[in-house]
A = this chain, B = another copy of it.
Amino acid sequence: MANLQDLKAYLEEKKNKIDETLKKILPISKGYGRRVIEAAHYSLFNGGKRLRPILCLMGYELSGENSDEILIFAAGLECIHTYSLIHDDLPCMDDDDFRRGKPSCHKAFDEATAILAGDGLQALAYECFTHKELLKKVNPVNLLKAINLISKASGFKGMVGGQMEDLLAEGKKGSARRLKWIHEHKTMALIEASLVSGAILADLNKSEIKTLSKFGQNLGLLFQITDDLLDILGDENLLGKPLRSDLKKKKLTYPALFGVEKARSLAEDLAKTSLETLTTFGERAALLKELIIFILNRVN
């Protein structure tokens, strides 16, 4: 059994380890080209929760192994997530001037630098995923499988495709099918891949990976629906951005399509299903279970 305090302590510990790892892999250099690294740093160390890398560590820990061994891999997932945030905020995309209470990357720097910072962070992610220190502990074929999974989850058939459709859906009459497709691709795919990649690195068996994959999907969707709800019900100070920005942009979201109550009830159903899916892992999944409750009730 784990409680909320255990989870919070765990999240804090892992966040610090991920941050240290990121700082080591992307030191601010002197000389030419420095500006784009500064911009990447600015966005990378802007108070992110490190959910994706932590999910990767949690997937790995289901095997009983020490996840410190794959910190550099997990850190790569944060690079992908951060690149996507930088590009999403651009004027021609979601046009968000603020991110977690600070000017977004293209406001703090400029558009060209922000685009390049995102591009460089995506490359850095794969530098992390293929770091030679991983070979001490991880089977190289498993490593290649995990990278392949993440590349698909973040590309045209995943996150990038989802962001495209999200933009196209703005201000249009939405359908539940379209909304589900967008959320599955834009958010769910990388969250699922984060958790599952950790399990692949730990060499969990096929049936366990299948279960985790299903769980990761529910978790990803839950995360997105609670995100949509926070845009309406949240606290601006805790969120670090203005409320109702999705509404203003006429984004296709669960509350917009179904109303707040129905969206909240959907989130609760997803949390329930997620908890059930985890029973097969028993006590090993205690923290993952607590994480579900934490996300259901999240305030930022």
- What residues on B are CB-neighbors of A110 within 8 Å? 92
**In the complex, what's the smallest C-beta–C-beta distance from A8 to chain B, in angstroms?**
33
CA–CA, A229 and B67, complex, Å? 52
Q: Are the CB atoms of B156 and A36 closer together than 8 Å?
A: yes
Asked whether A165 is an interface residue with its Cβ less than 8 Å from the other chain, the reply is yes
Asked whether A143 is an interface residue with its Cβ less than 8 Å from the other chain, the reply is yes
Asked whether A122 is an interface residue with its Cβ less than 8 Å from the other chain, the reply is yes
Asked whether A260 is an interface residue with its Cβ less than 8 Å from the other chain, the reply is no
Copies of this chain, tallied across the complex: 2
Q: Are the CB atoms of B127 and A151 closer together than 8 Å?
A: yes
Which of B111, B129, B151, B168 lies in contact with A123, CB distance below 8 A? B151
Q: Are the CB atoms of B124 and A122 closer together than 8 Å?
A: no
Question: Which residues in chain A, 131-166, are within 8 Å of chain B measured between CB atoms?
Answer: 131-132, 135, 140-141, 143-145, 147-148, 151-152, 154-158, 160-165
Question: Which residues in chain A, 169-219, are within 8 Å of chain B measured between CB atoms?
Answer: 178, 181-182, 185
Which chain B residue shows the least CB distance to A167?
B112
**In the complex, what's the smallest C-beta–C-beta distance from A296 to chain B, in angstroms?**
28
Q: Are the CB atoms of A120 and B36 closer together than 8 Å?
A: no
